[in-house]
Structure 1
Amino acid sequence: PDIFNPYSLLNCFSKEKIGAYWFGSGTPTFLIEMMRKFKVLPSSIGNIYAKQSSFDAPTENMTSIIPLLYQSGYITIKDYDKELKLYKLDIPNKEISIGLYESLLPNYVTTEIDEGKVVIARMSALINSGDIDGALRLLQTFLETVPYCDNTLYEGHYQQMLYIIFALLTDYRIIVEQRTAKGRTDITLETHNHVFIMELKFDKTADEALEQIEAKRYADAFALSGKKIVKVGIAFNVKDERNITEWVIR
């Protein structure tokens, strides 16, 4: 059976609006420190399959971060396979998802966190209207202002940064490395009217990224969605620019 949080519910009735009441009642500083210790990527937090012994265990003896995520409420049981005795664990709801990723964002955009939130809100409005080109231009301009350090000169840092930024776009379904019949997409962003299939290439061209979307036929997985499918090849320069350098939209 599902559960609800009485603290959030009572605050919602009292203030007569939905808000991040549960997440705002504490800070996930310890969680973020443990994520660093166990080298957990933001994109790997949800959609986990595990045996009960993997997450219902004392946190002082844990060998992965899953018990801490589960017992602190950042992931919860979403499904159970009786035959395999596997549990599906995922982030409970949008409040926790947005709160968690906002807490992780400073690790990737450092001092520009407040400006980053504004940019993400503006990007969300552009994507909602189908203007992915305008959203990427806005993101490119913002990334020009973000300081960089020598320890971020690898693709994974920027891939996770882009994932967090897209994950914070409200009211959309985002999947990283979604499995299809021919492979895995880098980022899939589904709005009310569009499905944006994005492929990232680091220190390569946007055309190469788009060619992979076409060659692997990623769009076939969404053919029955009834939504407009937009393929986006994105090139990111890690060595010199530390920014999106070009993109191709089809």
Structure 2
Amino acid sequence: TGVTKFGKVSVFSDLNNLDDISMRKEYVGICGVSDQELHDNLDVELHEFAEARGVSYDKLCDDLKAYYDGYHFTHHSIGMYNPFSLLNAFKYKEFGSYWFETGTPTYLVKLLKKHHYDLERMAREETDSQVLNSIDSESTNPIPVIYQSGYLTIKGYNEEFGMYRLGFPNREVEEGFVRFLLPFYANVNKVESPFEIQKFVREVRSGDYDSFFRRLQSFFADTTYEVIREQELHYENVLFIVFKLVGFYTRVEYHTSKGRIDLVLQTDRFIYVMEFKLDGTAEEALQQIHDKHYALPFASDGRKLFKIGVNFSAETRNIEKWVVEE
């Protein structure tokens, strides 16, 4: 159900005999709304909702699915809609972060930071049912708590090894959670945070990469002493959050490997191929774009292409330089 199992932990020994049905196939539909139930019971309301929004019936159904569907409580099961968000959307004829805004996951963010968690892993975390069902306050793995709180759900299953692949259930949770993370990782407060993302998106849409990188520099300013030891991960996490949020409005592909990040960002008019390095040079990063032929897939594309090499300096704890080739 997305309710954590703290109540079952040691203190309440009487509860140890409960039958935990969380991952039992016959109960997957007990706490949500299935696609079938939605269309069987609210078809008239779906048409009214579509009319109120000025979109087609099919478009509305697709949007509802993207925003509120996608919870899987075991492997190979149907997706479930979050009933709270779904019914609020019908009530107000608006798409909102209804469930996400009912609670703030500050505790989960502190857990991620405390254990120096690589945020990029959240969207593709793999684990087994024993870990998913565990709850141990001493554990260094924040994933069971995040899964049991409903911020991650089951996205795939490897039968041979009994491994579950996790990911965000839907756009409401993904966008809400990543937006919530930003002020905890970057030098920006909660009020300014949405406006900053809006400015980033405007800048990449208009081809103003210098303003974009200057804004990005301000996100790394005043990096605290604690993160210096985990410096590379800190850069990766901030970049991941920023580009994940920009990615809700543009197309973003983001890859990391030891000491470097390559990234492709696409808008209607521009394509940005970027390489980030830690303690190298921006020129080396740009050279790598050439050497690895990162721009080759876009050779026949009509949009304007920018190749950008970026270097982070451990000494200044910030972006030291970026070089651009058009």
TM range (shorter): 0.7 to 0.9
Alpha-carbon distance between aligned partners in 2 of 1:3 and 1:9, rounded to the nearest angstrom: 11
Task: Give the Cα separation in 2 of the matches to 1:132 and 1:53.
Answer: 46
Is residue 2:229 matched to residue 1:147? no
Indicate if the aligned counterparts of 2:286 and 2:309 stay in contact, CA closer than 8 A: yes
Q: Which amino acid aligns with 1:236?
A: F
Distance 1:240 1:46 in 2: 30
Match of 2:254 in 1: 176
8 Å CA contact 1:155, 1:202 repeated in 2: yes
1:206 paired with 2:279, answer no
More off after superposition, 205-214 vs 169-178: 169-178
**Conserved in 1, the CA contact under 8 Å of 2:276 and 2:310?**
yes
Is the CA contact (8 Å cut-off) linking 1:207 and 1:248 kept in structure 2?
no
User: Which residue, 98, 106, 113 being the options, matches 1:36?
Assistant: 113
Matched to 1:115, the amino acid is E
Q: Who wins on radius of gyration, i.e. which is larger?
A: 2
Within the alignment, does 1:72 sit opposite 2:149 as a pair?
yes
- In structure 2, the CA distance between the partners of 1:224 and 1:214, relative to structure 1 (3 Å rule), is closer
Q: In structure 2, what is the equivalent of residue 167 of structure 1? A: 244
RMSD: 3.1
* Aligned-pair CA distance for 1:12: 1.2
Pick aligned residue for 2:292 from 207, 212, 216: 216
Q: Is the 8 A contact 1:119 1:139 kept in 2?
A: no
Q: Which residue of structure 1 aligns with residue 311 of structure 2?
A: 235
Q: Secondary structure at the match of 1:118?
A: helix
Q: Is the 1:163–1:187 Cα contact (8 Å) retained in structure 2?
A: no
Give percent identity, aligned residues only.
33
Contact in 1 for aligned 2:261/2:277 (Cα 8 Å):
no
What are the superposed Cα offsets for residues 188-225 of structure 1, whole Å, 9 maximum, x if unpaired? 434456553321123332111111222223345x4599
Matched residue SS, 1:87 = strand
Residue matched to 2:84: 7
Checking the alignment, whether the CA contact within 8 Å between 1:199 and 1:234 is kept in structure 2 is: yes
Q: Following the alignment from structure 2 to structure 1, what is the Cα–Cα distance between the partners of residues 289 and 216?
A: 22
TM-score (norm 1): 0.80
Q: 1:84 to 1:173 in 2, by over 3 A?
A: farther
Letter in 2 for 1:237: S
Task: Calculate the TM-score normalised by the size of structure 2.
Answer: 0.63
**Is the CA contact (8 Å cut-off) linking 2:187 and 2:219 kept in structure 1?**
no
**Cα distance between partner residues in 2 of 1:249 and 1:117:** 30
Q: Which structure 2 residue ranges, 5 or more long, are not aligned?
A: 1-77
Shift of 1:31: 0.8
Segments of 5+ residues of structure 1 without an aligned counterpart are: none
Aligned mates of 1:23, 1:8 — CA distance in 2: 9
| Contact 1:12–1:19 (CA under 8 A) maintained in structure 2 | yes
Equivalent position SS for 1:21: coil
* Mapped partners of 2:243, 2:262: distance in 1: 12
Q: Which residue of 1 is the match for residue 46 of structure 2?
A: none
Q: 1:124 aligns with which of 198, 201, 206?
A: 201
